[in-house]
Amino acid sequence: MTRVRIDESAELDVIPVMSLIVHLIPMLLLSVRFLSLAQIESKGPLVPTQPAPSSTALAEQERDVVAVRITAEGFVVSGDGAADPRIPCRGSCAPEDYDYSALRRALVAAKRLHPQERRIVLAPDPAVAYDVLVRVMDAARVDGKQDLFPVPLIAAGVGEP
């Protein structure tokens, strides 16, 4: 009878697995570096449980609501008490041409009229770049150390007021 000899000195080749791990870990760390998490608190619309208000009640309610309509020509601010609510662009209405400083001044005036209000309604037109909407949210959130309107409510763009 011949005996079968088992070679117990055979090595397990873990080099490909180690190479995969060595290359995978830096790629995962690199992908985490480019992942940024941010949350802008926004509340969705509520389902009405009461009948629709009358037109006079709507007009009174509109005076108490601070809203910014973002158009391709600039901003339309309501609730700040200004005679002309329009803030036009300073140039060709690219995202950097919108007048954010004038918008902030209008929102500070609106905060003086509505000191307890924390919500602002933003109504962007579909043609407006997302970058403009984010900058408007930033302008509406704080002015220096004073909170203005930290809770944005985003509405669908509507027709001219």
Question: Is the pLDDT confidence value at 161 over 50?
Answer: no
Domain count along the chain? 1
Whether residue 161 is contained in a domain is answered as no
The pLDDT tens digits of the residues spanning 68-102 come to 889 889 998 887 777 778 899 888 888 888 999 99
Q: How many CA atoms lie within 13 A of 111 on its CB side?
A: 18
Residue 106 lies in a domain: yes
pTM: 0.61
Query: Is 91 within the bounds of a domain?
Result: yes
Q: Is residue 77 a part of any domain in this protein?
A: yes
Helix, coil or strand: residue 118: coil
The whole-angstrom separation of Cα 80 and Cα 86 is: 11
**Residue bearing the bigger pLDDT, 144 or 44:** 144
Domain that holds residue 137: 64-154
Across 42-78, b (16+ Cβ under 10 Å) vs e yields: eeeeeeeeeeeeeeeeeeeeeeeebbbbbbeebbbbb
- Confirm whether 57 is domain-assigned: no
Average pLDDT over residues 37-50: 65
Which value, in Å, is the radius of gyration of the alpha carbons in the chain? Answer: 28
Asked if the structure places residue 70 within a domain, the reply is yes
Query: Average pLDDT in the 134-151 region?
Result: 88
Determine, yes or no, domain membership for 147: yes
On whether residue 73 sits in a domain, the answer given is: yes
User: In 3D, which of 85, 112, 90, 113 has the Cα closest to residue 101?
Assistant: 90
Cβ atoms within 10 Å of 158's Cβ, excluding its own: 10
Query: pLDDT confidence of 7, banded at 50, 70, 90?
Result: low
